[in-house]
Copies of this chain bind each other. A is one copy, B any other.
Amino acid sequence: MKYQKNVGGKVNSEALHKISYGLYVVTSGKGENCNGQICNTVFQVTSEPAKIAVSINKQNFTHDFVRESRVFAVSILSKNTPLRFIGHFGFKCGRDVDKFEGINYKGGKTGTRIVTDHAVAYLEAEVIKEVNVGTHTVFIGKVVEAEILTDEEPMTYAYYHKIKRGVTPKLAPTYIKKGGR
């Protein structure tokens, strides 16, 4: 049992970026009144029954859709997803463009749209809790539908950054001001 005394105390943002994530399109809304965005902060919080959590920036257009419709879907992106597709959902705003234009999607059980392009699987959830965490809201949802679409490997956030040389948008929970990543 070796003990090392603590010295200093600082937050190195690079350490936070050692947390592993996937890459997802989170959609919300009902029928034609839907929007979607790229997100890396999705995780399962319980298995019986299955519940998932997602952290969304309050400034994002999709945030309003989740708050109002109380449903959201998560499309788990494949490792082979083109950067252009990620840019479409990640760096454009649904206030300016119809993000579903030219995109394949299906109608979900909850009435929301689920993006099927480049998705290896999808999850659809009904919001049971929302937690105010400052700049973001953590929405916790009960999974009402989940299905696998392809056998492809999911994209990891590390792969997106290292291999695909993708960038982190300013409103993401994992954004670093000084650039890097």
Query: Which residues of chain A have a CB within 8 Å of any CB of chain B?
Result: 1-6, 9-16, 18-22, 41-53, 55, 76, 100-109, 116, 120-123, 129, 131, 133-136, 138, 140, 143-148, 154, 156-158, 172-176
Nearest CB of B to A12, in Å: 5
Contacts of A154 in B (CB 8 A): 18-20, 158
Taken together, the copies of this chain in the complex come to: 2
Q: Is the CB of A133 within 8 A of B18?
A: no
Q: Is the CB of A19 within 8 A of B47?
A: no
Q: Among B21, B51, B129, which residue has its beta carbon within 8 angstroms of that of A43?
A: B21
A10 and chain B: residue at smallest CB distance: B145
Contacts of A102 in B (CB 8 A): 1
Contacts of A129 in B (CB 8 A): 131, 133
Query: Would A106 and B16 be within 8 Å (CB), given that A11-B144, A140-B131, A146-B11 are in contact?
Result: no
Contacts of A157 in B (CB 8 A): 20
Cα–Cα distance between A10 and B143 once the two chains are bound (Å): 9
A156 and chain B: residue at smallest CB distance: B20
Cα–Cα distance between A42 and B145 once the two chains are bound (Å): 23
Q: Is the CB of B101 within 8 A of A146?
A: no
Contacts of A131 in B (CB 8 A): 129, 131, 138, 140
Nearest CB of B to A59, in Å: 12
Q: Is the CB of B22 within 8 A of A143?
A: no
Nearest CB of B to A178, in Å: 12
Q: Among B9, B109, B135, which residue has its beta carbon within 8 angstroms of that of A9?
A: B109
